[in-house]
Amino acid sequence: MTQITPDDLQTFLTDLDAAVRETADWDVPATYIPELAEVAVNQFAISVVLGDGQLLSAGDHDTLFSIQSISKVFTLACVLGRIGDQIWTRVGREPSGTPFDSIVLLEREAGRPRNPFINAGALVTTDALLQGRMPKDALSELIQFVRASVDDTDIHIDKAVAASEKATGFRNVALANFLKSYGNLTNLPDLTLGTYFHQCAIAMTTDQLALAGRDLAGLTDAPGLISSQRARRINALMMTCGHYDGSSDFAFRVGLPGKSGVGGGILIIAPGKASIAVWSPGLNHYGNSKVGAEAAHRLAAFTNWSVFSR
């Protein structure tokens, strides 16, 4: 296969953005968080950081969006940094076969969530990040980590989104209290929930998000906050559990590890080759960005970056 040049890729991204603008059906944003439901739906952005650190983008790549569940990747990385493999005593590493906010398996498996990327599992990693500290200290550590990953101090939590989710996130309150009833939260549920809602409300652009994935992709100019062994394992989890019930479908179509958020963003890792972020707020029935997943599919087809290809 002939090598794709950065120029070729930039042309592809620009064309892709133009093509996406023709989309008839953008689908609808998450409605269960009022603040997210108001986001204009016909938006799209894509950013790619290449192996040499070059950043290419197209579309609304300067627009901030709520990263939501993508934050679970950063929290997991922080917690692995703090307590290492000990976290796996409290949360599993297997796909759940159920929707992201399901409580069924949690009861069957006595309060041990299947993996850190479903809501219940992320509540456990957030709880481990707190570890007796005040929420603002834990959140501060997380934000510092994200800023260092991007090399940009201008990354913040959108407090209106956090408040909006706190006011309506009954399902997550249920999950946290359920975990507590099984003894798998060390903090009071409200403390863990407050931290969780804030962590999900981090606002980023696709440019920032793509830069934040450099360690996971093992790019040459990555900041080195995540060891290569740890990056490999996080990538594996993103591949098998990163898109909830639609994880295998994403693996099947795109062939790259990714983590989606209900804000419409997806962080995608092409190990050794690129870190990619896409965004479009309308969600498919799995709760993943509809147009974003489609764009990822086309990018993978163009670049042949699938980890399952020769």
Cα separation, 267 vs 258, whole angstroms = 5
Does 52 sit near a second copy (CB under 8 A)? no
Does 231 sit near a second copy (CB under 8 A)? yes
Residue 141 backbone dihedrals phi, psi, to 5 degrees: -60, -45
Kindly state the tokens that stand for 97. Answer: 């076969």
Question: Catalytic site residue 260?
Answer: no
Does 102 sit near a second copy (CB under 8 A)? yes
Residues 145-204 interacting with a second copy (rule: CB under 8 A): 170-171, 173-178, 180-181, 189
Question: Catalytic site residue 32?
Answer: no
Question: Catalytic site residue 244?
Answer: yes
By CB under 8 A, name the one of 137, 141, 152, 249 that touches a second copy: 249
Kindly state the tokens that stand for 93. Answer: 């590493």
Which position among 96, 124, 196, 275 bears the catalytic label? 196
By CB under 8 A, name the one of 124, 200, 209, 219 that touches a second copy: 219
Inter-residue long-range contacts of 90-97, CB under 8 Å, 24+ positions, other chains counted: 90/124, 90/128, 90/184, 91/115, 91/116, 91/121, 91/124, 91/125, 92/121, 93/237, 93/241, 94/240, 94/241, 95/240, 95/241, 95/247, 95/248, 96/241, 96/244, 97/245
Instruction: Choose the stretch contacting a second copy; rule: CB under 8 A; options: 52-60, 145-153, 200-208, 214-222.
Output: 214-222
Q: Cβ 11 to a second copy, closest distance in Å?
A: 24
Cα separation, 141 vs 75, whole angstroms = 10
Cα separation, 74 vs 199, whole angstroms = 9
Does 41 sit near a second copy (CB under 8 A)? no
Q: Which residues bind a second copy (CB under 8 A)?
A: 93-98, 102-105, 107-108, 114-115, 170-171, 173-178, 180-181, 189, 217-219, 228, 231-233, 235-237, 239-241, 245-249, 251-252, 255, 257, 271-272, 306-310
